[in-house]
Structure 1
């Protein structure tokens, strides 16, 4: 069931689509959840961060406590989330360098000091 909700509708077989429709027809809460999940996926994949406040309001109107928790977490850092979903650049390269440096630091833990780490970081790139 989770896979059906998280998959693109066109990726499901006819049988799976019919079964999902049947289940969603029997459970209004699950139907609302599926709608919110799919609209959030669309916001993510199409980089439509400007639609996030409208999505958060729609989630709060339904009685879905697990999504309310997600919405509250997103709301705490709303501007950053909207920027991440809207802007074309990514901090991925910087995060990759930070991870590499942390890995080197963990490998050397207890063996050497900062001086060796300073020499080793430029040599590892």
Structure 2
């Protein structure tokens, strides 16, 4: 080994500095076929022998070993880390929650989802508008909300709108008036619980006594 070579190795700041020279950037018979190999690799074809057989009819005159070495290098390269997309359940939770309760990261992720999916963006707007009607008792806004829902291609919401139309006045009253049937529903659930406890073997008289004495 010459003195110049020893000095060059000793002064190298990085491994790349050791391989510069006449061999660096040397052309290869495989160069003009690398784009084809890259495309086939991205399509899922990673078998070196099959890819060598594909490029030979295209004019490749090099060896199979060269193709295998090129693909081996692609296999050993670190793959970019990509964020795992949120699950449908997670996205639904973000949409149904109050916007001010979402963390900054959740808001950013939901914004990205809405940007890439116009249907989910429209759904989010309708859900939040409906939530405002429910919490602020704005039943007078229901007709406009139903019209807005029907203008978007959201079949599930169209089904909901059709159901609301069948009880239009009752739904408006429920969204406007301060009274509700919560107490009645509570008593109904209590009676059902007592009935289940008796496993359906007791008659109405016993059920009546248990309800009165509970």
Give TM-score scaled by structure 1 length: 0.85
Count of residues paired in the alignment: 123
Aligned match of 1:69 = 159
Determine which structure has the larger helix proportion and give its number.
Answer: 1
Indicate the SS of the match to 1:89.
coil
Aligned match of 2:181 = 91
Aligned match of 2:27 = none
Matched, 1:105 2:105: no
Q: 1:58 aligns with which of 148, 173, 183?
A: 148
**Structure 1 residues not aligned, in runs of 5+:** none
Q: 1:8 aligns with which of 98, 122, 126?
A: 98
**Distance of aligned partners of 1:21 and 1:105 in 2 relative to their CA distance in 1, 3 Å threshold:** closer
CA distance in 2 between partners of 1:86 and 1:58 (Å): 20
Computed over aligned residues only, the root mean square deviation of the Cα atoms, in angstroms, reads 1.7
**Distance of aligned partners of 1:123 and 1:5 in 2 relative to their CA distance in 1, 3 Å threshold:** same
Aligned match of 1:80 = 170
Looking at CA atoms only, which structure, 1 or 2, has the larger radius of gyration? 2
Indicate the SS of the match to 2:153.
coil
Give TM-score scaled by structure 2 length: 0.53
Q: 1:45 aligns with which of 135, 143, 159?
A: 135
**Distance of aligned partners of 1:19 and 1:114 in 2 relative to their CA distance in 1, 3 Å threshold:** closer
Deviation at 1:59, TM superposition (A): 0.1
**Distance of aligned partners of 1:8 and 1:120 in 2 relative to their CA distance in 1, 3 Å threshold:** closer
Q: Spell out structure 1 runs of 4+ moving beyond 6 A.
A: none
**Structure 2 residues not aligned, in runs of 5+:** 1-90
Deviation at 1:5, TM superposition (A): 1.6
Structure 1 stretch displaced more, 27-36 or 56-65: 27-36
CA distance in 2 between partners of 1:10 and 1:103 (Å): 38
